[in-house]
Structure 1
Amino acid sequence: MMYEFTIIVPVYNEEENLSRLEETLADFLPNSSKKAKILLVNDGSSDNSEALIKEICKRQPDFTYVSFVENRGLSAAIKAGFDEVDTPLLGYIDADLQTNPEDFNLLLEQIGPYDLVTGVRADRKDSFVKNMSSKIANGIRRAFTHDGMDDTGCPLKVIKSDYAKRIPMFRGLHRFLPAMILLQEGKIIQIPVRHYPRIAGTAKFGLWNRLLGPLSDCFAYLWMKRKYINYEIKVRG
């Protein structure tokens, strides 16, 4: 079966969401504008997530998974997904389903001339503190990267896989994916997508993760920008 699009789903202690995740993604796959499959990346969950993921993949022929020995964080889970993907396009979505997989079709409509299409969470259904800390963090990040993106933390993106695989990931870099595509002289765009409140499970990021952590990551990004190697092969003999 020739797949065109892989949806990466990082999972860390999301046992309460996995049944709904399976149902929602299985319902979306026949309606995807690209022939799609699901890659669940278990980031060393300490609850029953791994066992549930194995059962899901037995039931669903378009679902596969990888599982870490121990928890390594969201950026590591996304990188593992990038490394595993064998389709020309990839995307990712959070297991909490605060975004809707149906909106992947909105992003896929735009991907042709672009190398990354990211969602922007319209009418966010989060707490005041979470919204304000994200807004401040995004402003700091834009000042450092000049990527023009309003919401790089939105967990709904589509990327051309050859660009994604060239990103030298480090912890926290999931917030800088558009900027890393720009370093490759790629083209990026943002599209409004729907957003929902978290129904089950607990958020994995607090004030430090959303605000102070990204500030320190900005300096790491500037270092990488100065050292980044970018090239294009002209011909092979």
Structure 2
Amino acid sequence: MSTTPRLTVVVPVKNEAGNIAGLVAEIERACTPLAPFEVVYVDDGSTDATPAALDAARAGRPWLRVLRHPASGGQSAAVRSGVAAAAAPVVATLDGDGQNDPAFLPVLYAALIEGGEGVGLAQGQRTGRKDGRLKTIQSRIANGVRGRILKDGTRDTGCGLKVFRRDVYLRLPYFDALHRFMPALVVREGFGVVHRDVVDRPRFTGRSNYGLFDRLWVGLLDLAGVWWLIRRKKPSQAAAEIARGERC
């Protein structure tokens, strides 16, 4: 594209061949009012027909780019690659299985911009979860524990719908599962976080690449690490105001 995009949408995928075409079309419809924009799909070591589906989706869409990891590095690694390659100053993310509705991207983008330079992240928070009873209960417990420990004011950090300033993201300490702790780490850097409810949907096709115990045990270790990072950094005045509820 000859014009620098104002929004880059990053979509991490692994073995989501059946979900590519439909989701790309939805992203296109949702982001057309935000043009110029670009979409960066990051194929995280897929072993199915995802590469072919992405090649087909690129036809006639110069704003669609594809990056590929030769082996799977995880969702946070895929997001990191997409953000690093982004040409826009504002980046949006959403999961590649269709559960995140792209129609909410303009809502989150507007919330970030209206918040001003002091806001670093607009975080989606899912309503009407479609993950199944066990997974939903697990998520609620995990979010409750995380919220009490990190006090980041976010009830659903696992929602893939996020819009944030690229330069703020690149200041965050990188680790696996970073995407699940972004609100607390954005506040740690002295920026505000705003929230918008988004409607959850069932995945289009296929099955999740993430299991119960993958999140449970590793998540506890990550939570301890993020708590330590926050304790080790003296909060800025802006972060202190956010914690007291004086800013967004």
Q: CA deviation at 1:58?
A: 3.5
Whether 1:211 and 2:216 are equivalent positions in the alignment is yes
After superposition, the Cα gap between the structure-2 partners of 1:205 and 1:54, relative to the gap in structure 1 and judged at 3 Å, is same
Partner of residue 224 from structure 1, selected from 202, 220, 229 = 229
Q: CA deviation at 1:209?
A: 2.9
Deviates more, 1:121-130 or 1:52-61: 52-61
Q: CA deviation at 1:2?
A: 2.6
Partner of 1:83 in structure 2?
A: 84
TM-score normalised by length of structure 1: 0.91
Q: Percent identity?
A: 30
SS state at 1:170 partner:
coil
After superposition, the Cα gap between the structure-2 partners of 1:228 and 1:192, relative to the gap in structure 1 and judged at 3 Å, is same
Whether 1:193 and 2:198 are equivalent positions in the alignment is yes
CA–CA separation in structure 1 for the residues paired with 2:10 and 2:235: 26
- Cα deviation, 1:169-226, whole Å, max 9, x if unaligned, reads 1011110011110110000011101111112011122211333321121112123334
- Cα deviation, 1:37-63, whole Å, max 9, x if unaligned, reads 100011011111122212322431110
Partner of 2:48 in structure 1?
A: 47
Kept in 1: contact 2:54–2:66 (CA 8 A): yes
Q: Give 1:110-129 correspondences, 5 Å limit.
A: 110-112=111-113, 113=115, 114-129=119-134
Partner of 1:135 in structure 2?
A: 140
CA–CA separation in structure 2 for the residues paired with 1:155 and 1:179: 15
Whether 1:103 and 2:95 are equivalent positions in the alignment is no
SS state at 1:119 partner:
strand
CA–CA separation in structure 1 for the residues paired with 2:182 and 2:165: 12
TM-score normalised by length of structure 2: 0.87
Whether 1:144 and 2:146 are equivalent positions in the alignment is no
Partner of residue 15 from structure 2, selected from 9, 13, 16 = 13
Q: CA deviation at 1:90?
A: 0.3
Kept in 2: contact 1:116–1:158 (CA 8 A): yes
CA–CA separation in structure 1 for the residues paired with 2:98 and 2:228: 34
CA–CA separation in structure 1 for the residues paired with 2:86 and 2:108: 18
Q: Give 1:32-43 correspondences, 5 Å limit.
A: 32=34, 35-43=36-44
CA–CA separation in structure 1 for the residues paired with 2:110 and 2:25: 24
Partner of 2:240 in structure 1?
A: none
Partner of 1:235 in structure 2?
A: none
> Which sections of structure 2, spanning at least 5 residues, go unmatched?
237-248
Amino acid corresponding to residue 142 of structure 2 in structure 1 = A
CA–CA separation in structure 2 for the residues paired with 1:213 and 1:202: 21
SS state at 1:198 partner:
coil
Q: CA deviation at 1:29?
A: 2.8
CA–CA separation in structure 1 for the residues paired with 2:23 and 2:134: 27
Please tell me the root mean square deviation across aligned C-alpha atoms, in Å. Answer: 1.8
Count of residue correspondences = 230
Q: CA deviation at 1:227?
A: 4.6
SS state at 1:120 partner:
strand
CA–CA separation in structure 2 for the residues paired with 1:109 and 1:22: 21
Whether 1:172 and 2:177 are equivalent positions in the alignment is yes
Kept in 1: contact 2:13–2:41 (CA 8 A): yes
Kept in 1: contact 2:130–2:201 (CA 8 A): yes
CA–CA separation in structure 2 for the residues paired with 1:179 and 1:80: 21
Kept in 2: contact 1:134–1:211 (CA 8 A): no
Partner of 1:234 in structure 2?
A: none
CA–CA separation in structure 2 for the residues paired with 1:70 and 1:229: 38
Kept in 1: contact 2:31–2:105 (CA 8 A): no
